Amino acid sequence: MFMIIFLFVMESIQEQCEAYGVRLFLGHYYTSLKIDTDALRIVFNTKNICNNQFQLFIKGDLEFNISNYKTKLLNMTDVYIGTKANIEYETYIHTFQIPKQLSSIILYTLIRNDTIIKQAQVKLPHLQQEKTKVLFFGDMDSSWVYNRSKQTFDWFENQIKQKIQFDSLIFTGDMAYNLESDNCQRGELWLSRISLFTSQYPFMITPGNHDSGYNRKQIFLREHFEMPYQNMYNTQDYENYFYSFNIGFVHFIQYDPVKIIYKADQNNLIRDQLLLQFRNDLITAVQNREEVPWIVVFTHYPIYCNFMDDDQCVNNFKYLAEFEKLFKEFHVDLYVSGHQHNYQRNYPYYQNDSALFEMDGNIYYNYESPITIIEGAGGADYGPEIMILENKPYTVKQMDQNGVGLLQVMNKTHLQFQQVRVSTNEIIDEFWIIQNRDTYDIDYFNLEIWIIFLIVGILIFLLILILFYLFRRLKLKFNKQYLHATDFIV
C-alpha cells in the first residue's frame, strides 16, 4: 500500500517536472548594455518548482555545463484573485543564460536527470557579421480549429529538417487568441507547440493588442517572453514599451504604442516617455551608422493599413504622427508591423500623404520615409479568413496566402525582403532597398561646404578691405609726393 502511494507520488512529481515550451531569446549582449554573460537565454516551463533538476550542456568555443538557472513562479491565480477572470493557473519559468561565444554555431543539450529534453544546433548571431537573416511573422494561433496556422508550423518543420539557419525570428504580435483564454490553457498549448521553432531559433517578440490579457497588463506574455528591456536595469526612467538590439549591420527597434492607440495614456505621459527613449536610441544609432547602417523598426501596429472598419487603419497616422516624424528625421529604412491579417507592402508615406522615393523595378532608393510592410499572415483562426482589401493610395501589393517575411541584409548597402508562401515555399513578393549613404552625407557635406564658403568669403572680404586700405595709403603717399614734385616745379 505504502509502496503504491510512493510510486504514485513519484510518478506525479515526474509529471510535474516535465519541461515544456522550450524557447530561446537574445539577451543584453545584443543591446546597448552589451552584457557578455547574457547572449542567449534558454527558457522553459514546468508545473512544479523542480529545483536542481535541470542541466545545460553547451558546445561552443569550449564545452561546458551550466547547472545554475533562474526559476520564477508565475501565479496567475494570484494576479486575478477576486476578479471575474476566474483563473486558477500556476507555472514555473526557468531561465538559463549563455555567455557570448566566438563560434557562430552552438550545440545545446537540455538535460533532466540524465534524460535529454532538447538538443539543438543554434546559430548565435554575431555583432560583427556580413550577412544577417531574420524572419518576420505574426498574428498566429496554435489551436487549429480551422488549421489556419498549420502550414506555417509545417513550413518551420521543413526549415529545421533542412538545417536552415536564421539569426532570429521576429514575431509581430498577437499570439494564440488569446494567451490567457481557457484558464491560460490557450497560452500553455501555444508554448508547447511553438517550441518546435522557438527551441531552434532565437525568438524576439512585440506585443499585439490580443496579448494584453484580462487586466491589460500583458502579464502572461511578458513573464513568458522576457525581452531585453532596459528597465531590467533602470527602473527609474523607463516603462517597458521599448527595446532595441543589434545584429550585424542592422539596428532593430521594437516599440509598443498600445496605450497610445487605445487611448489609455492620460496626459500623453507614456507617449512622451516613449518618444524620448526612441529619440535617444536613434541619436546613438545614427552616430554608429557607418558601422551599423540599417535601422529596422518593428511593432504590432501599422501606420497605414486597408481595413477601414478598424480605427487603426483610419487614424493610426494621427496617433503615431510624432513617431513617424522620428522615422523620417533619422532615416529609418524599414517598418514592419502586423495586425492586419495578410501581407501588405506600402509605398513610403508620410503624414497621410505620399513621400519622396525613387524606384527601379523592385529596388528602392533615396526614400524620405521608411518602406513599410504588414506581416500578419502567420495564420489566425480568429476573425475572418485572410483576405485582400480595397487598395489605398499607399498600397503596393497585398497577398492573401499564409506566409512569413524573410529579411536578408546582404551588406552595408543591400537589403532584400522576400515574402514566402508557406504552403508551397514559393517567394510571392520580393524587393530590395539600396542605401546610398552619400545622399545622407550630402546634408552634412553641404553644411561643411557652406561653413567653409562663409569663412573663405569673410577672409576674402577682409583681404579686399586690407588691400583697399593699403592701396589708398599708397595712393595718398604718391599723390603727396606728386604734389610736392609739382610744387617744386612750379
Ligand X SMILES: *[C@@H]1O[C@H](CO)[C@@H](O)[C@H](O)[C@H]1NC(C)=O
Helix residue spans in 48-179 (DSSP H): 76-79, 150-161
Q: Is residue 322 a contact point for ligand X (CB under 6 A)?
A: no
CB nearer ligand X, residue 75 or residue 273: 75
Residues 6+ apart with CB under 8 A from 208: 138, 139, 172, 173, 174, 175, 300, 338, 339
Q: Is residue 352 a contact point for ligand X (CB under 6 A)?
A: yes
Buried b (16+ CB within 10 A) or exposed e, 373-405: bbbbbbbbbbeeebeebeeeebbbebbebbbbb
Closest of 148, 207, 240, 425 to residue 337, by C-alpha? 207
Q: Among 11, 15, 78, 237, which residue sits at the site for ligand X (rule: CB under 6 A)?
A: 78
Q: Among 414, 418, 423, 440, which residue sits at the site for ligand X (rule: CB under 6 A)?
A: 414
- CA distance linking residue 152 with residue 489, whole number of Å: 111
Q: Nearest approach, Cβ of 75 to ligand X (angstroms)? A: 4
Q: Which stretch binds ligand X (CB under 6 A): 143-151, 225-233, 239-247, 365-373?
A: 143-151
Q: Nearest approach, Cβ of 90 to ligand X (angstroms)? A: 5
CB nearer ligand X, residue 280 or residue 424: 424
Site string for ligand X, 146-175 (x = CB under 6 A): xx----------------------------
Q: Among 12, 16, 37, 65, which residue sits at the site for ligand X (rule: CB under 6 A)?
A: 65
Instruction: Please report which helix (H) or strand (E) contains residue 117, including its range.
Output: strand 115-123
- CA distance linking residue 466 with residue 425, whole number of Å: 77
Q: Is residue 59 a contact point for ligand X (CB under 6 A)?
A: no
Q: What is the DSSP letter of 290?
A: T
Q: Is residue 413 a contact point for ligand X (CB under 6 A)?
A: yes
- Nearest residue to ligand X by CB is 78
Q: Is residue 423 a contact point for ligand X (CB under 6 A)?
A: no
CB nearer ligand X, residue 328 or residue 412: 412
109: cell is 543539450
- From the number of C-beta atoms within 10 Å of its C-beta (0-12, 13-18, 19+), residue 164 rates as middle
Q: Nearest approach, Cβ of 205 to ligand X (angstroms)? A: 26
Q: Is residue 90 a contact point for ligand X (CB under 6 A)?
A: yes
Residue with cell 514592419: 336
Site string for ligand X, 4-43 (x = CB under 6 A): ----------x-----------------------------
Q: Within 10 Å of residue 15's Cβ, how many Cβ atoms? A: 11
CB nearer ligand X, residue 78 or residue 358: 78
- Distance in Å from the first CA to the final CA of the chain: 150
Q: Which stretch binds ligand X (CB under 6 A): 49-57, 99-107, 166-174, 334-342?
A: 49-57
Q: Nearest approach, Cβ of 452 to ligand X (angstroms)? A: 30
**Dihedral pair phi/psi, residue 319, rounded to 5°:** -60, -35
Hey, is 408 helix, strand or coil?
strand
Long-range contacts, 475-478 (Cβ 8 Å, 24+): none
Q: Nearest approach, Cβ of 141 to ligand X (angstroms)? A: 13
Q: Among 381, 410, 418, 440, which residue sits at the site for ligand X (rule: CB under 6 A)?
A: 410
Q: Nearest approach, Cβ of 147 to ligand X (angstroms)? A: 4
Can you say how many angstroms the Cα of residue 341 is from the centroid of all Cα atoms in its chain?
Answer: 19
Q: Among 57, 307, 382, 440, which residue sits at the site for ligand X (rule: CB under 6 A)?
A: 57
Hey, is 92 helix, strand or coil?
strand
Site for ligand X in 111-140 (CB under 6 A): 113
Summarize as ranges the residues that interact with ligand X (CB under 6 A): 14, 52-53, 57, 63-65, 73, 75, 77-78, 81, 90, 113, 144, 146-147, 352, 393, 410-411, 413-414
